Amino acid sequence: MDVSLDLLMNAMISGLLLGGFYAAVSIGLLGMAVYQVYYVAFERRDDQSLRGLSFFFGLLFIAEVGLILVFGVDYRSVNARYIGPSLQLVLFDLPWRLLVPFLVSMAMAIGLQIFLSRSFLGRAIQAVAQDQLALQLMAANPTRIKRIAFGLSIATAALAGACLIIIQPVEPSIGREYIGRVFAICVLGGLGSFPGMMIAAMTLGIVESLTSTFFGPSWAPAVAFGVLLVTLAVRPSGILGR
């Protein structure tokens, strides 16, 4: 059988893309396993507050140390044909290294919104945070629902990390830089509101970009969190909070 080089390359690329899809799935399963440990150690004994938070921060530090031991403390980056060039438009340029993660993130956010609002499992994930007893009356197991939700959140975080390395070089402790921003976006948009989260993320990104451009990068986090404080003073529930 004759095998052309083009056919072989396309098959290899398709295999890599499919493997990447499987790796999101595997990280989601890992997240579900982590939640099961958390449930057995804390939630089942109704000890979720401070000790549960310490558990996840401990996992954060363990993951960082493990990555440092395996990969070192140096910044790592990836090479791709679309990272350097820009999409040339009439009045401005769009760097592909920012456009590709943006499109992936938008597709993921829209897909999650459809899943959470249209499917029974998605509505159950929203309901488990509001009234677990009512969810049980609908023949749904709250622990199972939370396990799936945690696995889904870990998988989406892994996809976000894959997009981040396209934007900039990363190192094991870079996640700490974004923890504050994640909390700010969730609170600013309103807990449980996907549209609010999108508006808050766009607002924070624009504020940081404008501040970095005209006043310097060191001012960007201060101004961004200042916007958060002003918004909470005016509307404590967030932009689209319930």
Quick check: 178 pLDDT over 70? yes
The whole-number pLDDT of residue 117 equals: 85
Long-range contacts made by residues 56-59, C-beta under 8 angstroms, separation at least 24? 59/34
Q: What is the pLDDT of residues 18-42, one digit of tens each?
A: 555 555 767 777 778 888 888 877 7
Q: How many CB atoms lie within 10 A of CB 216?
A: 9
Give the predicted TM-score (pTM) of the model: 0.75
Going by C-alpha positions, the residue among 193, 200, 224 that lies closest to residue 211 is: 224
pLDDT of residue 8: 52
Model confidence pLDDT, tens digit, residues 113-170:
888 888 888 888 888 877 788 888 887 888 888 888 888 888 888 888 888 888 888 8
Angle between helices 220-234 and 194-215 (to 10 degrees): 140
pLDDT of residue 37: 80
- For the cut 80, the answer to whether the pLDDT of residue 3 exceeds it is no
DSSP strands (E only) in 32-159: 86-88, 93-95
Distances (CA, A) of 131 to 28, 125, 138, 144: 25, 11, 11, 15
Query: How high is the pLDDT of residue 6?
Result: 57
Burial of 197 (0-12, 13-18, 19+ CB in 10 A): buried
